[in-house]
Amino acid sequence: MIRLPGSTTTHVAERPLRYGWVALLIGASLPCTQVALAQHGKAPHQHGHAELLIVAQSSQLQIQLRSPAANITGFEEIAQSPQQQRAVNRAKQILLTKNLFKPEPSDCESDSIDADFSSLDSGAEHHAEHEDDHDQDHDENHADVIVTYNYTCKRVAELESITTQLLTNFPSITQLNAQWVIGSRQGATTLDNSRDKIQIR
């Protein structure tokens, strides 16, 4: 299986995810792809922009969203006011749903969702206080929301497209940069509010 270290089979798990794009491939035998993704590196933190990485091997499909928290809730600090907490709760309700992405052919089943809301929610689990700053996915000035969606598919090698409702639900995301590695196929595209489907070629 392609799975982040420490993930569980529970459908929804809120946890801090410290792993970058390349960690999605840990345990997978895709050496050329690992090199390509390592060269890409971590995407810059830019408001209005968000990143998707789509990786598939065997029967496993994984989609990871990384977005500045401001795109999701309108702010980038621990929620303080009732209004901010409602914004966090709304974001969770939308992001932690099985139908946010629709792979086609539609023979994929959602296994689990791993999410990191620790930059916004004071009730979320945190890592130890003395972590190396270089290992953190975000700092207090540039908070990211990271959500990983895990699927099992009967015909993952035949995957043709993935449609997402992200841009409809979060209009502050004006540009969604997607990369994919599906078997031997690799590619990238950009979605906006007029285009919500990733064509896998």
Angstrom distance (rounded) from CA 26 to CA 10 = 20
pLDDT one-digit tens code per residue, 77-107: 899 999 999 999 999 999 999 889 999 997 8
Q: How many other β-carbons are positioned within 10 Å of the β-carbon of residue 133? A: 6
How much is the pTM?
Answer: 0.74
Question: Minimum mean pLDDT among 114-118, 150-154, 168-172: which range?
Answer: 114-118
Angstrom distance (rounded) from CA 105 to CA 172 = 29
Which secondary-structure segment (H or E) carries 108? strand 108-116
The answer on pLDDT for 128 being more than 60 is no
pLDDT one-digit tens code per residue, 1-54: 344 333 333 345 554 443 443 344 433 434 444 434 444 445 556 889 999 999
Residue matched to tokens 């840990």: 26
Find the length of the chain.
Answer: 201
Angstrom distance (rounded) from CA 138 to CA 11 = 25
CB 112 within 8 A of CB 12: yes
